[in-house]
Chain A
Amino acid sequence: MNKNIKLSEKKVLSTPPIIYLTILFLIPTIIMVFVAFREPGSYGGVAPLIEHIGNTNKINLTLDNFKFAFSNYFLWQLCIRSLYFSVITTVCCLIIGYPLAMLIAKSLKKYRDILLLLVIIPFWSCFLIRIYAWMIILGPQSGVSHIINYVIGIMGFQPVNLLYSSFAVVICLVYINLPFMVLPLYANLEKHNDDVIEASRDLGATRLQSFLKITMPLSLPGILAGSALVFIPSIGMFVVPELVGNNCSLMIGNLIKQQFLQTMNWPLGSVTAIIMTLLVLGISAIVAILARRSGALQYANK
C-alpha cells in the first residue's frame, strides 16, 4: 500500500468495495441467518413472522431447524462426503496443476501467453456443456469406457460403469477447478528468481533437493491460494453430482438445493447452508493459522 495516500483518501477508496460487499454478501448472509430461525411455510417459503391466533399474537421464531439439522445423520454424511470429495479434488488439482504451472512459467516468454490462454479457453464455453461432454466421454459407449473395462476385464474384474459414480463426480470437479489451481500457481512460480535455484544447486543440492527445499517452500503462497480457490467452490457444488453422480455421491449442495426447491423447507435449507459456510470458514482458518505458524508466508510481503 502506498504510504503517501492519506487516511481520508483511503476511506474514500474503500467505499465502493464496502458497498459492493454489503449488498452482495453481507445482506444475503443476514437474510439467510434470519431465515434459519423461522418456521417453514405450509407451501414453501417461511411462515409469517407474527401470526394472529384469536386475540393473541404468536411470534414464529424457533431453534427446531438447528436441532433437526444437528441430529440428522444424512446431513452430516453429506457434509463429510463433500469434504472428502473436495480434499481429493484439491489434491488432484495440485498434482496435475503444479507441473503444468511450472512448465508454463519456465517456457519461453513468447509462448507463455498462448499456453495461459489454453488454460483459460474452457471458460469460453458453458460449464454445463462441458459437463455434458464429460458425460459422453465417460458414458458406457465411449472409447474410454471400453478401454478401461477391457483392461480390468483382463485383470478379472466385472465391468464398471464410469458415468453416474463418485469417480465421475471427482473427475468433473477436478476438470472444472483445474484452471483455478494453475493460475495462482503460475503467478507465483513465474516470479521465482532463477538465481536462487542455481544458488541451491551450486551449494550442493540435487535437482530434487532444490525443488523440495527451495521451489516448493517459495511457492507455498501460490499453493495455498490455488487450494482455497479449488476447495471452497468444490464443497458447495451441486450440478456435478446431479449430472454425473449417483445416490451415493450426493453432496451438501444437493441437499441445500433440494430443501429450497423440492421439499420447500427454506429454514432447514438455510441451516444447512450456514453449516456449510462455517465448515469452509473453519477449515480456511485452520490452514491459515498453520501456514502462519510455520512461517511459510513471512517473506511473501517482501
Chain B
Amino acid sequence: MAILEIQNVTKVFEDNLVVDNISLNINQGEFFTLLGPSGCGKTTLLRMIAGFTRPDSGKILLDGIDITDLPPEKRPLHTIFQSYALFPHMSVFDNVAFSLKMAKWDKSKIVSQVAELLDDVKLTKFAKRYPHELSGGQRQRVAIARALVDRPRLLLLDEPLSALDARLRGHMHVELVKLQEETGVTFIYVTHDQSEALALSSRIAVMNLGNVEQLDKPQEVYSKPNTYFVADFLGKCNLLPAKVIAIKANRITLCVADILEFELEMDSLNNITVGQSGWYSIRPEKVKAKRREPEDAELFFAKAIVHGYYYYGEGTLYIFMLENGTKVQAMLANYKTEQASFFEDNAQVMLSFDPQAGSFIAR
C-alpha cells in the first residue's frame, strides 16, 4: 500500500540537524503535504526524495525498492520547483517533451503524448511559445505538464504556488486537486501555507525543527493538535494554560486559566496524570458570544468583556477578556447585518463553547 517509505532519515548541514530521524509512509494515490515554517527541514526532505541531497543515514524506498543512492535521473518521480525551472531556451513543446526525449520515446509518440498533456493544462495554443513569453500562471502549468508527461510514480511539489497572486492560487488549487484525481499520481506537496495544506491534502505532516510533530488528516490536525507548535502554526488558536485536576474513566477534568472548569472526553489517556499541566486549545470560530445566556445545556459558559476586535469581512475576530484577565479570541460570523452582530468595546458578553471542540495538549 505504501508507495514511498522513509525510514529513519537524518540530514545534518554544517552542525545543523535539518532532518532528525524521520520515518513516514506515503500511500499510493495520496495528496500528501509536508507543512512547516521555513527552516523546518521540509524542503530538505523533499530534495532527498528527489535525489538532489543524500541523507546522512536512513533509507528511502519507492515501491519497496531502495532508491537512497540512485541519482535523480534514475528515479521514476519528478519535481515541480518553486521557480518552475523551465528551460528558457526551449519552446513549451520542447520543455514538456524533455523527459520523453531523455527516455528515447518514438517521435510520433512524443508528439501525441505532449499534445495530450498540453491539452490537459489548456496550453495547446502556446506550444511554440518560449517561457519568457508566458504569464506566471501559464509557466506554472507548463511545469506541471512537463512533470506529469511520462506519468511518474510520484510528483514532488516544492511550494509551487508561492509566486502566484492570491486569486490565481485559488484557481490552481482546484486544478491541482483535479489533476491529481484524474492522473492518480501520488503528490507530495511542500508548503508553509496552512490554509493551502488544509484545503488540498488527504494527509498532512506538520514539521518543526527537523521533526514531524503530527501526521494526520487535515480535520484532525486542525481540530486536535498534538502539540503546542501544531496548534499555534495552523491558523489562529486559543492556547489557554490548563491543568488536569481529575481523571474518571476516559474523561478528564480540566482547570483552564485558573477559573474555568469542565470535563473533556479523551481518545486515550496515555501519559496523562492528575496534576499535569498543559494547554487547552480551542479555535476562535468554535467560541460563540451572546449578550444573554443561551439555553443550550451542552455548552460551557464564561463571562467576559470585549477587549478589541478585527473586522475581516466574512467574520469579526473579537478579543474577549475573562474575569481574571485571560484573553480569549472568538471568530464570530457576521451572519446578521453588521450593526446587529457588533459588540462595542467593554461590552459584557457570555462566551459559550463545546469543550469537546477543543483539546488538551500536555506540556
Interface positions of A (Cβ within 8 A of B): 193, 195-196, 198-206, 209, 213-214, 217-218, 295-296, 298-299, 302
Whole-angstrom distance between the Cβ of B75 and the nearest chain A Cβ? 8
Whole-angstrom distance between the alpha carbons of A298 and B130 in the complex?
Answer: 9
Interface positions of B (Cβ within 8 A of A): 50-52, 71-73, 78-79, 81-83, 85-89, 98-99, 102-103, 130-132, 146-147, 150
The 7 sampled A-B contact pairs (Cβ below 8 Å) are: A196-B85, A196-B88, A200-B87, A201-B52, A201-B72, A202-B78, A218-B89
Whole-angstrom distance between the Cβ of A87 and the nearest chain B Cβ? 26
Q: Quick one: closest B residue to A205, CB to CB?
A: B102
Residues of B with C-beta under 8 A to A196: 85-88
Whole-angstrom distance between the alpha carbons of A298 and B102 in the complex?
Answer: 24
Number of A-B contacts (CB under 8 A): 70
**Is the Cβ of A193 less than 8 Å from the Cβ of B102?**
no
Whole-angstrom distance between the alpha carbons of A195 and B132 in the complex?
Answer: 16
**Is the Cβ of A202 less than 8 Å from the Cβ of B79?**
yes
Whole-angstrom distance between the Cβ of A191 and the nearest chain B Cβ? 11
Residues of B with C-beta under 8 A to A302: 88, 132
**Is the Cβ of A296 less than 8 Å from the Cβ of B89?**
yes
Whole-angstrom distance between the alpha carbons of A37 and B89 in the complex?
Answer: 48
A-B pairs, top 6 by smallest CB distance, nearest first, are: A204-B102, A195-B85, A199-B85, A203-B99, A302-B132, A299-B88
**Is the Cβ of B88 less than 8 Å from the Cβ of A198?**
no
Whole-angstrom distance between the Cβ of A296 and the nearest chain B Cβ? 7
* Max chain A Cβ within 10 angstroms of own Cβ: one of B51, B99, B102: B102
**Is the Cβ of A205 less than 8 Å from the Cβ of B73?**
yes
A-side interface mostly: helix
Residues of B with C-beta under 8 A to A205: 73, 98, 102
**Is the Cβ of A203 less than 8 Å from the Cβ of B89?**
no
Q: Give the residue of B83, B87, B103 whose beta carbon is less than 8 angstroms from that of A204.
A: B103
Whole-angstrom distance between the alpha carbons of A105 and B176 in the complex?
Answer: 36
Whole-angstrom distance between the alpha carbons of A193 and B83 in the complex?
Answer: 9
**Is the Cβ of B130 less than 8 Å from the Cβ of A299?**
yes
Whole-angstrom distance between the Cβ of A226 and the nearest chain B Cβ? 18
Whole-angstrom distance between the Cβ of B52 and the nearest chain A Cβ? 6
Whole-angstrom distance between the Cβ of A244 and the nearest chain B Cβ? 41
**Is the Cβ of A203 less than 8 Å from the Cβ of B132?**
no
Q: Quick one: closest A residue to B146, CB to CB?
A: A203
Whole-angstrom distance between the alpha carbons of A255 and B87 in the complex?
Answer: 48
- Contacts known (A298-B130, A299-B130); A201 close to B85, Cβ less than 8 A: no
Whole-angstrom distance between the alpha carbons of A217 and B85 in the complex?
Answer: 15
12 more CB-based (< 8 A) A-B contacts, given A195-B83, A299-B88, A302-B132: A195-B82, A198-B79, A199-B79, A201-B51, A202-B79, A203-B73, A204-B73, A209-B102, A218-B89, A298-B130, A299-B132, A302-B88
Q: Give the residue of A198, A203, A217, A295 whose beta carbon is less than 8 angstroms from that of B98.
A: A203
Residues of B with C-beta under 8 A to A209: 102
**Is the Cβ of A198 less than 8 Å from the Cβ of B81?**
yes
Residues of B with C-beta under 8 A to A193: 83, 85
Whole-angstrom distance between the Cβ of A293 and the nearest chain B Cβ? 14
**Is the Cβ of A203 less than 8 Å from the Cβ of B102?**
yes
Whole-angstrom distance between the alpha carbons of A37 and B72 in the complex?
Answer: 66
Whole-angstrom distance between the alpha carbons of A206 and B72 in the complex?
Answer: 9
Whole-angstrom distance between the Cβ of B80 and the nearest chain A Cβ? 9
Residues of B with C-beta under 8 A to A195: 81-83, 85
Whole-angstrom distance between the alpha carbons of A271 and B94 in the complex?
Answer: 49
Residues of B with C-beta under 8 A to A299: 88-89, 130-132
Whole-angstrom distance between the alpha carbons of A204 and B99 in the complex?
Answer: 6
Whole-angstrom distance between the Cβ of B73 and the nearest chain A Cβ? 5
Whole-angstrom distance between the alpha carbons of A200 and B99 in the complex?
Answer: 8
Q: Give the residue of B71, B83, B86 whose beta carbon is less than 8 angstroms from that of A201.
A: B71
Residues of B with C-beta under 8 A to A298: 89, 130
**Is the Cβ of B103 less than 8 Å from the Cβ of A217?**
no
Q: Quick one: closest B residue to A199, CB to CB?
A: B85
Whole-angstrom distance between the alpha carbons of A209 and B82 in the complex?
Answer: 23
* Max chain B Cβ within 10 angstroms of own Cβ: one of A204, A217, A298, A302: A204
Whole-angstrom distance between the Cβ of A209 and the nearest chain B Cβ? 7
Q: Quick one: closest B residue to A216, CB to CB?
A: B89
Q: Quick one: closest A residue to B72, CB to CB?
A: A201
Whole-angstrom distance between the alpha carbons of A205 and B97 in the complex?
Answer: 12
**Is the Cβ of A202 less than 8 Å from the Cβ of B89?**
no
Residues of A with C-beta under 8 A to B71: 201, 206
Residues of B with C-beta under 8 A to A202: 50-52, 72-73, 78-79
Residues of A with C-beta under 8 A to B81: 195, 198-199
Residues of A with C-beta under 8 A to B131: 299
* Max chain B Cβ within 10 angstroms of own Cβ: one of A195, A217, A218: A195
Q: Quick one: closest A residue to B74, CB to CB?
A: A204
Whole-angstrom distance between the Cβ of B136 and the nearest chain A Cβ? 14
- Contacts known (A198-B81, A199-B79, A298-B130); A206 close to B87, Cβ less than 8 A: no
Whole-angstrom distance between the alpha carbons of A200 and B81 in the complex?
Answer: 12
Residues of A with C-beta under 8 A to B73: 201-206
Residues of B with C-beta under 8 A to A206: 71, 73
Whole-angstrom distance between the alpha carbons of A218 and B87 in the complex?
Answer: 9
Residues of A with C-beta under 8 A to B79: 198-199, 202
Q: Give the residue of A198, A218, A295, A296 whose beta carbon is less than 8 angstroms from that of B85.
A: A198
Whole-angstrom distance between the Cβ of A219 and the nearest chain B Cβ? 10
**Is the Cβ of B52 less than 8 Å from the Cβ of A198?**
yes
Q: Quick one: closest B residue to A298, CB to CB?
A: B130
